Amino acid sequence: MDDKTKTQQISINDLPLDNEECVVTGNYVQGNPQLPSRTTKISYTPLMIKCISRCENNILYFAENFFRIVNLDRGKEKIKLYPVQRKMLTNMVKNNRFAVVASRQIGKTTIFTIFALWFTSFFNDKTILIVANKEDAAQEVMSRIRLAYEELPVWLKPGVKEWQKQSIKFLNGSTISISATSASAGRGKAINCLLVDEAAFIDPYKATEFFKSVLPTISSSKHSKILLSSTPNGTNNYFYRVIKQAKNDPKSNWKYMSIPWHMIPGRDEQWKATAMSDVNGDIVSFQQEYCCEFIEEGDSAIDKKTLDELRQYTHPPQILNSNEYKVWEAPNPKHIYAIGVDVSDGVGSCASCIQILDITDLTDIRHVACYNNRYIDPQNFAKEIYSISLQWGKPWIAIERNNMGAEVVDALSREPLYYERLIAYDNTKKTKYEKRGVVSSTNTKYDGISNMRYYMHILKAFTTPDSSTLDEFDTFIKYPNGTYKKANGNGIYDDRVMALVWAFFVLHVPVAETCLAVNEYDANGKPKKIEKTYYDDTDGMYNLGVSMFIPKPKETSADKWINGYVPYSQNQPTIENLIQQGWSFI
């Protein structure tokens, strides 16, 4: 084709967009009439030739007239690109080093598919390697390419030389192949274009080894391309470093664009509310997965601003049963409580902890008591849980039954204790029967922490008087794999935090709908108003037993009480101070 033919403009209405005018003879690859072979003969009309030329010169024209997708409601149809998708494709053609930070559900994998098919269909002797963090993800991209190729008009397709699950070779010499990330992927291949999907989710070590292996091959050509696309996944990965370089270094070879959720037409606040529900109302996850924000690894589960706000309400307990058991508000028979338990082996390192929440009003969830003991063995801890539960009306208790927790759950489940309201939750679905206690997995912990963060971090519905619990939040951080746990180091614990996670677990929707009467849900589908569904007249209910009552400090002009709590900055009396002042245990 000469240049004059290539640049000639043709009305879309004049172009043959189906196969009716095309005469095809010969054999097909694997007997599939959608796969023309070397022996396939096609009768081209002048309009077809002009159309092929226009597709070669304009990827947007090719995409919007010949690329088909499968719509879940309408079936196969031509794609209609959004403005940001058109811009993404244009940048992929224009730039040799290009990265896209993209929200979930913006069609970035589809855009990769369009580019790969266009690049190999209209240019000879090109090699594309598609890499993803997992092999099945790479295979998903390849399956889309295969489907899109089959849906092209036969006169627009390059002939097929090889049609394999892992690779496609065309008669024009161009090849598309896929691979999971590894140090050997792409080694020794002459690659014209490297497409990396979900680049931020590739293991940092594997990514380093992979790019060390493949970059020398790509860099040997001035026209080779590296195209990256991903939703953010923290800051400890190659993708983040590329984006940071593209943002901050004007001389960088890398160009980038960001596509947050709201850049797709039709997405409004209602769509946002649904997306928030998909991430369990976790604002940090939403910011990362939909707003294209890179969240720093090591950040606390609750941000510093929220923790600082909570600290101004901390104060000593109102009631002490022992040094291990602190109570800030007396039990109220009309209120609804929830208990969360974290179990240790009782040998002096991690503590066994009980956290008690007043969840009567879900706009004002109050931390009312905490038991924390490093030296109590599981059997005696089960008795302590039972005794304390009586004081709060025998509410629902969530105990992680992994490891030592199973011993505690079993002791509470049997006579003579036989505690009826133990939350039974197992989303692993590996057992045919329902075990009492919370069978913890990575997903269960994620759901629990997200649920706690929703009420604490987003709704700001939680207050705690316990400075020790807040201290643990300072070192309860996010790791590169997305999980939260205590930071490394001596003397750092997360017992209070995890017990609090399990105390909030009664408000996790599938649990709440089993254990409580949920009268109203909020816009994100979370419980908003609840009622108590259990009553008990066991002896000793709501009786704190032997205790020492601590008087509220006198109000001064400098230190005013805030909502009944004295500010954290005020000097608080210790037990020793109170004894010296004449106070004693009753």
Q: DSSP for 47-81?
A: HHHHHHHHHHH-HHHHHHHH-EEEETTTEEEE---
| Spatial separation of the C-alpha atoms in residues 163 and 36, rounded to whole Å | 11
Cβ atoms of 385 and 408 closer than 8 Å: yes
Ordered by start, the domain boundaries in the chain are 77-259, 322-469+496-544
For 385, residues 6+ apart whose C-beta sits below 8 A from its C-beta are 339, 341, 354, 397, 399, 408, 412, 419
| Spatial separation of the C-alpha atoms in residues 296 and 478, rounded to whole Å | 8
The two domains 77-259 and 322-469+496-544 share their CATH topology (first three levels equal): no
| Spatial separation of the C-alpha atoms in residues 550 and 572, rounded to whole Å | 11
Q: Give the CATH fold of the 322-469+496-544 domain.
A: Nucleotidyltransferase; domain 5 (3.30.420)
pLDDT of residue 238: 87
| CATH of range 77-259; options 3.30.70.380, 3.40.50.300, 3.65.10.10, 3.40.50.1820 | 3.40.50.300
CB-CB neighbours of 206 under 10 Å: 16
Cis peptide before 416 (omega within 30 of 0): yes
B/e letters for 235-262, b = 16+ CB within 10 Å, e = fewer, are: bebbbbebbebbeeeeeeebebbbbbbe
| Spatial separation of the C-alpha atoms in residues 572 and 316, rounded to whole Å | 7
| Spatial separation of the C-alpha atoms in residues 548 and 491, rounded to whole Å | 29
pLDDT of residue 12: 43
Cβ atoms of 255 and 96 closer than 8 Å: no
User: DSSP H helical segments within 299-348, as ranges?
Assistant: 304-311
| Spatial separation of the C-alpha atoms in residues 248 and 252, rounded to whole Å | 8
pLDDT tens for the chain, residues 1 to 586: 333 333 334 344 445 455 446 677 788 888 888 899 898 888 888 888 889 999 999 999 999 999 988 776 677 788 899 999 999 999 999 999 999 999 988 988 899 999 999 999 999 999 999 988 777 888 888 998 999 999 999 899 999 999 988 899 999 999 999 887 654 555 556 788 999 988 888 877 777 777 777 776 676 667 889 999 999 887 878 898 999 999 998 888 899 999 999 999 989 888 888 888 777 666 777 888 899 988 765 567 787 888 889 999 899 988 776 779 999 999 999 999 999 999 998 888 889 999 999 999 999 999 999 999 999 999 999 999 999 999 999 999 999 888 888 999 999 998 899 999 999 998 766 544 467 889 878 888 888 988 998 898 888 999 999 999 999 998 887 776 667 788 777 888 999 999 999 999 999 999 999 999 999 998 778 899 999 888 877 777 888 865 555 554 444 444 443 334 434 334 455 566 666 666 665 5
pTM assigned to the model:
0.59
